[in-house]
Amino acid sequence: MPGIVLNEVSFEAEIMAQQAAAENLTSFRGYPFPGQLVEVPYPMENQAPVPPASLVAYSRTHRFSLPKCFHGKKVRLITRCRVDTEELLVTLQCDVRGSGERLCPFFGNAAPSC
């Protein structure tokens, strides 16, 4: 029995464009179908943004959940240091690890915009 086929390319392009234009962190909610991208306010503590590299630890002790990728699974926080400026870059990316699963194009910059 054939089912309804969504135009996956345009839906993916649409949510990726929404993510690129977002001014906050983003998280994907898979239900109701076909799902939607929602903005998540960046967490603050003592009137200052939580340091991006501390988001995972912060999510364990506060009412803040790490965003979810397009699979609906918690993202992975990746930290890198730029050699030329010694700036710490923190990004949120897909973290699927299951057999047969592919990484989705979810990508977020964890640096707060103030």
Other C-beta atoms closer than 10 Å to the C-beta of 15 total: 19
DSSP state of 19: H
Banded pLDDT at 98 (limits 50, 70, 90):
confident
Per the model's pLDDT, the better-predicted residue between 60 and 12 turns out to be: 60
Asked whether the beta carbons of 110 and 66 are under 8 A apart, the reply is no
CA-wise closest residue to 35 among 67, 11, 9: 11
Convert the pLDDT of each residue in 17-38 to its tens digit. Answer: 999 999 999 999 999 988 999 9
pLDDT, residue 111, reads 76
What is the rounded distance in angstroms from the CA atom of residue 53 to the CA atom of residue 89? 9
At residue 20's C-alpha, the angle toward residues 61 and 87, to 5°, is 60
Residue 5 reports pLDDT greater than 60:
no
